[in-house]
Amino acid sequence: MPQIITKGYKALLAEAEAAVETLSVEEARALHGRDDVVFVDLRDPRELEREGRMPEAFHCPRGMLEFWIDPESPYAKPVFSQDKRFVFFCAGGWRSALAALTAQEMGLKPVAHIAGGFGAWKKAGAPFDAAESKDAGGKN
């Protein structure tokens, strides 16, 4: 018998967008570099290598988020215990919306995410560190 999905990704995203603050790139840029804000990059390592990085962003692969936030987890990261604002982003804004909702439901606050993610950040000309090219020996 085939699986019947009762709540698809569109519904999950709509719920997240309704519950979590969404920042435009311009709003996020105004926060970038502030001591009271942590930008959290949810992309996987291959995406960072391929697309580049936001300067000073903390990298947390999406699959580890819940474990890194919870102070009772053996994988807890001190960054999430700080009294700061957390701005999540991914490549296009979907994973970050869901992650921000999860973080908020876990008690992390305040949280937000960037509409359009890192792709929109780069497209708007916001600062980023270019992807590191593979060695000149042609191992691309």
Give the tens place of pLDDT for each residue, 81-116. 999 999 999 999 999 999 999 999 999 999 999 999
The answer to the question of residue 91 being in a domain is yes
The answer on pLDDT for 139 being more than 60 is: no
Give the tens place of pLDDT for each residue, 16-74. 999 999 999 999 999 999 999 999 999 999 999 999 999 999 999 999 999 999 999 99
Domain count, the chain: 1
For the domain that residue 106 is a member of, what is the CATH number? Answer: 3.40.250.10
Q: What's the domain range around 60? A: 16-124
- The CA-atom distances, in angstroms, between 46 and each of 40, 104, 139 are 16, 27, 15
The answer to the question of residue 51 being in a domain is yes
The answer to the question of residue 130 being in a domain is no
Q: Which carries the bigger pLDDT value, residue 45 or residue 137? A: 45
For position 137, what pLDDT does the model report?
A: 46
The answer to the question of residue 94 being in a domain is yes
The answer to the question of residue 138 being in a domain is no
For position 133, what pLDDT does the model report?
A: 62
The answer to the question of residue 1 being in a domain is no
Measure the CA dihedral 82/87/91/97, to 10°.
110
Its pTM surpasses 0.85: yes
The answer on pLDDT for 138 being more than 60 is: no
The answer to the question of residue 8 being in a domain is no
The answer to the question of residue 131 being in a domain is no
